Structure formats: C-alpha cells, structure tokens
A and B are shown apart, each in its own frame.
Chain A
Amino acid sequence: MTLVFHNLRKQYGSHVAIDDVSTVFQPGLIHGIIGPNGAGKSTLINMTAGSYLVSGGRISLDDRTLSGLKKYQIANSGVARTYQNIRLFDQMTVLENLEVCFYPTQVGQVWREILWPPFAAKRRINRRDVCMELLSFFGLQHYADAEAGSLPYGRQRMLEIARALVTNPRVLLLDEPAAGLNHHETTELTARLAELKSPDRIMIVVEHDMDLVMSVCDRIVVMHHGKLLFQGTPAEVQASSDVQLAYLGTANDIDDIKTAAKDRRAQLGIRARRRT
C-alpha cells in the first residue's frame, strides 16, 4: 500500500511548476516535503487531493490511479487533506464539521436516514461517538457545540486536522499545519502528529518549520524549482550540501546547485585537509 508519483508534471501555460517528479510514499511513516517558497510543495498536495489537474504523469494509491478522478472521488478513496489557509465550515459547530464528513457515498443511505427515524438515530449516535473521541484527542471536546469560526486560530488548525482524520483516511495530507501557530501550539502539534502515526496510514506534511519537520518526519522530500532535489532521512537531508545550497544559496537550477555543491565540497575538503 503505497502512494506513488509517476513522472508527475504540472504546467501553467509555459510555466512548469512541477517537473518530472517521481517518488514513493510509504505507510507507517511521516513524509515531509520541504523546499523554498515556490518550489512546488503545495502544488504536489493540491494535485494529490484533486484540487489541481495533473498536466502529465500519474498519481496512484495501491494499484488505483487517483489523478483524473474528481475531487470528491479522491477523498472517498481515502485521501484527506488540510489547507494552507484554514478552510473550515465556519458557521457550523465544531461537532458538525466532523459529522458532515460521514456523508455516505450511496444516495440510498441518505434517503434511508431521512425517511426512517430509528436508522437515523442509530447512525447519529455512532457518528457522534467517533467524532467526540477524535475531538478529545485534539483537546477540543469542550468546544463541540461552538461555531467553528469562533474558535481561536490554533484550535481551528487542530480542528481542521481532526476533520481530515474523521473518516480514518489512508493518506493524510497536511499543508503547512504549523503556519501561524505559536511555540506552545507547535509543540502540541508535533506531539499529536507523532501519535497519529499508524502502520496503515501514509502521512505527508508540507512545512516551513524545520524543527517540526526534522523532529517528526521519517522521510523528507526536498523540492527546488519544481524538481525533486533530494530525498532521504532527516539526518541525510541535514547533511546534504545540495539542500543547504538550495536553501541558502542563489543557484537557480538543480544542475547549478550540484556543480556549486561539488565545488564547495572540494573547498571544504581542502579546508578540512588543511586543518588536520
């Protein structure tokens, strides 16, 4: 059970936002996607969730092709996401924000619930239990009947993650979950994310907060100008001079970076030799 990008490509007119990205996301691990602004991190998330069309290549989950499906179909295949700018249903209560995710895929179920009160009551209680449990996990149980839009910003972030989790998705896409959170909230988020790791769940986090990424992620994909620059464990990423240059340097092209990195390695090598 893996989520695979096969030669993924995204183009706006002549501008190539994602260029030939192929990678595999494993279940039971938290994958981070990092890179400077405009590197194409959010575009990857948006394509996976079906918010953007794929211009070339393919996304597949298990053996099923996701790219090309409608957004709600992708969601129903077990892909859930959060948004860079929080997008809750502001005027619905916190509990309703979760309950609505149980919208059935079969129309018959919908009508049965309207026309047959006992069935509706049973379903409602089941839904409520699952949702309340999840709310407690995120420390939101006391807000259950409050309007989602009235929650403090940090709580809204947590609620959005809870909403993504409520149907127990196989792929969880988090688009900058720590954006706008204070230090305390970020710590809490880090702890929650670690707890959410499960052997049958693929978690992908796009994030700017390096402390969070390095502490919580098992694998990291580094994007640069729409291309996949590097992938590996946090330690490997930290050690990679390519990555350091992408973040610190001014090089525009991956090849530039690689050459520059080689030069720098050579320099460092010389320097290191001199020291010893």
Chain B
Amino acid sequence: MLGILIQQTFNALTIGAIYALIALGYTMVYGVLRMINFAHGEMFMLGAYAAFLALTLFVGDIGGVGALALTLVFAVAVVGVGLVGVGIERLAYRPLRNSNRLAPMLSSLGVSLSLVTGVQIMAGPQPVAFPSFFPATRIGILGGTVTLVQIGILVAAFVLMAALYVLVNRSRAGIIVRAVSENRSTAQLLGINVNLAISLVFFFGPLLGAAGGILYASYYGIMTPTMGAVVGLKAFTAAILGGIGSIPGAMLGAFILAFVEVAGTALLPVLSGGLLGTEYRDVLAFVILILVLLVRPAGILGEPVSEESMVYKREF
C-alpha cells in the first residue's frame, strides 16, 4: 500500500512538474498582456520536435551519448523555441497590442493552427518515438518503484523553476517584467522599456514550455504534432487554479491538478463501480477548471479582481 502511494506520488510530482513549466508561460503572458496565448501549447510541442532535430543533427545516435551532449541539445532546443516565441510576439501579437481583447487571442489561435500543421507537413502527422534523456534505471523506495526518468524530470524542472524564481525576484530583468505586469501604462510612464519586458516574457515562457515538452516526450517516449493541445489546456487550467498572473500560483496549481488527476484516475473506476474508466482522466481536469471558475475565479493565490478594475475594464 505504502509502495503504491509512493509510486503514485512520484507519478503526480512528475506530471505536476511538467504542467508547472507550461503553466508558467501562460501565467507570465497573461500577467503582462492580459491575453490567453493559445499558441503556448505549441511551444511545448515545438520543444520536443526541436530537441529531436537537434539530437539527430548534432549527435546522430542516442546510444552512448554523454550527459553533457544531452544537456547541450536540451539547451539549444529550449533557447531555439524561446527565440521562436519572441519572433511570434513581434509578428503576430505586437501589432495588435492596442486593438480589442479578442484580436490577439484570435491571432494566437491562427499561430497555433499554423504551427501544428507546419510541423505536420514537415515531420508527418504520425507519432514519433522520442528517445529517453535518462537511463531507464528503476529504483525501489519503500516498496514502490520510481524510475530515474522521473527523478531526472523532477530535478530538471525544479532547477528551471528555481532559476526563474531567481530571475524574476532578483534580477533587473525580473523587476522590469514585474513592473509591467503590475501596471503597463504606469511602467511606461516611468521609462521602463515595455517592449523589452514583453519580449523577455515571450522568451522565457516558451523556453520553459519547450523544456516541459522535452521532458514530457522523454517521459512517455513519444511525440505528435498535436500533443500541445490537451496538455496546454491542462496547464492553463493549472494556471487558473493557482491564480492567473501569479507565478507561485501556477506551480501550486500544476501540482494540485496533477495530484487530483492521478488520484482521480486511480479512484474513478473504483468509486463509480467501473462505470467511469481511466479514459475520463482528461474530463476531470476540465471539470476542475469549471468548478474553480465558479467558486473562486481568482484562483488560489490570485488577487480577486477589485471593483474598480471591473468598472473601468473593457471586456472584448
């Protein structure tokens, strides 16, 4: 029993860490632009494909590759996707910054669709086997089996999140981004380079999303051009659950969602007497999403929308 519990806890932590990496991108973009970036799930997908490309270009065969080479491949891929993110913002979102709220969201839908079909055309629509970045060693902990892959993912994800935390809270770049999130027009009046802040967000958000994609693909050993949609949606749910716009909230929301999902998947068939199987796992996430929005739309760590901003806020 304890063994299963430990094993499931690690499963949830692994998935949660990946959700968290993606959710951070949603929440940061929402923070500075107040828009839902539907193309963010595609950054996750691009990450996996970029890593695969980098792997075949630079390394060739995965067997016998050292950790250093893999880290390099990882870095090249995520930075590459980060740059793609900056480029997309420049081309598809920046011209719309002063239009209505619907326009950038529609544009991001277009970007999302173009990226999925673009990858489909270039790499084929079929799933591609993805090499594991970590050796397939199993470790027994108190009767439960935990794979090295899981531990590797957890370590990588936490290193990245810690790096982001330091970046946001300790660096000048972080101050700029936080200022713009707080109040864009005031930040502009104070001489802060708003465009720089937005570009930074659109670099680091996709970068983390891409990292999530690589870890996800190497966890499940597979990648498809459409993998971004559902995982992106779940990560967005996590961001709302934690409180959209809040960075710690996104992480918290991701882990809560992952635990609920893992527990739900294990318990649903038992509780419903076999009527609802594990295939309803995805439904669970959306039910949570709707419930959170009903009960506490601001999320766990989000600030409730004040009456003033409601009064002077234009809905699209």
Contact = CB atoms under 8 A, between A and B. Distances in A.
Interface residues of B, number: 5
Contacts of B311: 46, 51-52
Contacts of A46: 311
Interface string A48-81: 0001110000000000000000000000000000
B315 interface: no
Interface residues of A, number: 6
B58 interface: no
Contacts of B308: 52
Nearest to A51: B311
A67 B306 CA distance: 18
B106 to A, nearest CB: 17
Interface string B164-199: 000000000000000000000000000000000000
B312 A52 contact: no
Contacts of B306: 12
Nearest to B100: A91
A159 to B, nearest CB: 18
A147 to B, nearest CB: 15
B260 to A, nearest CB: 32
B312 A85 contact: yes
Contacts of B312: 85
Contacts of A12: 306
B307 interface: yes
Contacts of B307: 51-53
B316 to A, nearest CB: 12
Nearest to B307: A52
Nearest to B306: A12
Nearest to A10: B307
Contacts, number: 9
B305 to A, nearest CB: 13
Interface string A25-52: 0000000000000000000001000011
A53 B307 CA distance: 8
Interface in B284-311: 306-308, 311
A275 to B, nearest CB: 51
A51 B306 CA distance: 11
Interface string B254-279: 00000000000000000000000000
Interface string A69-105: 0000000000000000100000000000000000000
Nearest to B310: A51
A12 B307 CA distance: 10
Contacts of A51: 307, 311
Nearest to A49: B311
A85 B312 CA distance: 9
A52 B312 CA distance: 11
A85 B313 CA distance: 12
Interface string A170-183: 00000000000000
B304 to A, nearest CB: 12
A62 to B, nearest CB: 26
Contacts of A85: 312
Nearest to A53: B307
A37 to B, nearest CB: 16
A129 B311 CA distance: 32
Interface in A169-222: none
B162 to A, nearest CB: 33
Contacts of A53: 307
Interface string B116-150: 00000000000000000000000000000000000
A51 B311 CA distance: 6
A53 B118 CA distance: 50
Nearest to B312: A85
A97 to B, nearest CB: 16
A51 B309 CA distance: 11
Nearest to B308: A52
A52 to B, nearest CB: 5
9 contacts: A12-B306, A46-B311, A51-B307, A51-B311, A52-B307, A52-B308, A52-B311, A53-B307, A85-B312
Interface of A: 12, 46, 51-53, 85
> Top 9 A-B pairs ranked by shortest CB distance?
A51-B311, A52-B307, A53-B307, A46-B311, A85-B312, A51-B307, A52-B311, A52-B308, A12-B306
Given A51-B307, A52-B311, A85-B312, 6 more contacts: A12-B306, A46-B311, A51-B311, A52-B307, A52-B308, A53-B307
